[in-house]
């Protein structure tokens, strides 16, 4: 519901595109819950149903009923997480590619999301964009956040659909053209955040689960964080939504090793990297809707001949 005094016309719309159910609750969930409580509309798009995921919670690993029908269970988990966050949700309808393992890596299964033609996946997401009409989108960077084939495909299709949705000549049967005005990469798992948690735990003489994470970070190229959304008041909702994905989340795992009180003190924000924007991006933003709250965003999103004001893909860092 809108806050007192807020008009419906002031609502803005955010679309968060994710590869699998549970990704939305580990990347940007507190931000989404914050915007929902402010009266804005938030839609999570799950590109796949997570059909080929493993049961990662050791407490449920031997549950034969879950093993027999994991896709159904994951849909139920997503429904619960959606309810907790207060967001809208849409399944894009593609099939989980699975995470190939081994040396050499096995081929991806036929018909999976990562092997779908780009024009097919782009058309599906363009249809959702034109239906929901988001002003802002979030997705993963070109590395997928980590190199899961579905995460990389999620990036590729998100960028493709972001640019196609505003073109009346592209996929005309999917609805009227609508140009989202900004698209961001989720950067929740940035190195500075992990270092801060690691050092905070050590200072309290507690065991840190992040030694291996930081060792594996040595060869990663630093990312450019442009936006830090203060959302500590919504960390509890984020954690509840994450735990709703019970097959995927170990409640005793590293996600929950840092208390919410310590997180509030050490790192009360969620981070994003602006990729493309039709309005200027000022460093460092504290709002994904920065630059849109004082303009007619709907009129801007339907205006022909828009030119990019910011292209973070050209940033050499």
Q: Which residues are annotated as a binding site?
A: 20, 23, 151
Cα–Cα distance measured from residue 122 to residue 126, given in angstroms and rounded to the nearest whole number: 6
Cite the DSSP H helix spans in the chain.
Answer: 23-26, 29-37, 64-68, 70-85, 118-132, 149-164, 191-203, 211-216, 235-244, 260-266, 297-301
Helices (H) and strands (E) in the chain, counts: 11, 8
- Going by the annotation, the residues of the binding site for Zn(2+) are 20, 23, 151
Neighbour count for residue 32 (Cβ, 10 Å): 30
Q: Which residue has the tokens 């309005």?
A: 279
Burial class (CB in 10 A: 0-12, 13-18, 19+), 184: buried
**Residue with tokens 């208390």, as numbered in its chain:** 259
175: left (phi over 0), alpha (psi -120 to 50) or beta: left
């Amino acid at each position: 519901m809108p806050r007192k005094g807020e008009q419906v016309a002031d609502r803005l719309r955010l679309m968060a595109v994710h590869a699998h159910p549970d990704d939305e609750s580990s990347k940007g969930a507190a931000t989404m819950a914050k915007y929902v409580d402010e009266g804005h509309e938030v839609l999570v798009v799950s590109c796949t149903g997570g059909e080929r995921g493993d049961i990662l919670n050791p407490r449920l690993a031997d549950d034969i009923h879950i093993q027999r029908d994991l896709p159904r269970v994951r849909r139920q988990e997503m429904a619960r997480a959606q309810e907790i966050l207060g967001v809208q949700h849409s399944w894009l309808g593609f099939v989980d590619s699975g995470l190939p393992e081994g040396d050499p890596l096995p081929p991806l299964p036929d018909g999976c999301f990562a092997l779908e033609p780009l024009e097919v996946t782009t058309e599906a997401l363009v249809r959702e964009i034109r239906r929901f009409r988001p002003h802002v989108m979030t997705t993963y960077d070109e590395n997928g956040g980590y190199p899961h084939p579905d995460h990389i495909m999620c990036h590729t299709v998100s960028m493709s659909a972001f640019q196609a949705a505003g073109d009346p000549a592209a996929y005309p049967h999917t609805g009227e053209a609508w140009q989202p005005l900004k698209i961001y990469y989720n950067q929740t798992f940035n190195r500075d955040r992990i270092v801060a948690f690691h050092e905070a735990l050590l200072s309290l003489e507690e065991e840190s689960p992040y030694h291996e994470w930081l060792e594996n970070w040595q060869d990663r190229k630093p990312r450019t964080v442009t936006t830090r959304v203060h959302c500590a008041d919504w960390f509890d909702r984020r954690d509840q939504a994450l735990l709703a994905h019970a097959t995927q989340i170990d409640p005793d795992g590293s996600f929950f090793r840092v208390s919410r009180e310590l997180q509030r003190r050490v790192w009360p924000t969620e981070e994003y990297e602006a990729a493309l924007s039709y309005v200027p991006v000022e460093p460092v933003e504290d709002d994904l809707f920065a630059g849109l709250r004082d303009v007619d965003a709907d009129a801007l999103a339907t205006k022909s001949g828009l030119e990019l004001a910011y292209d973070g893909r050209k940033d050499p860092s």
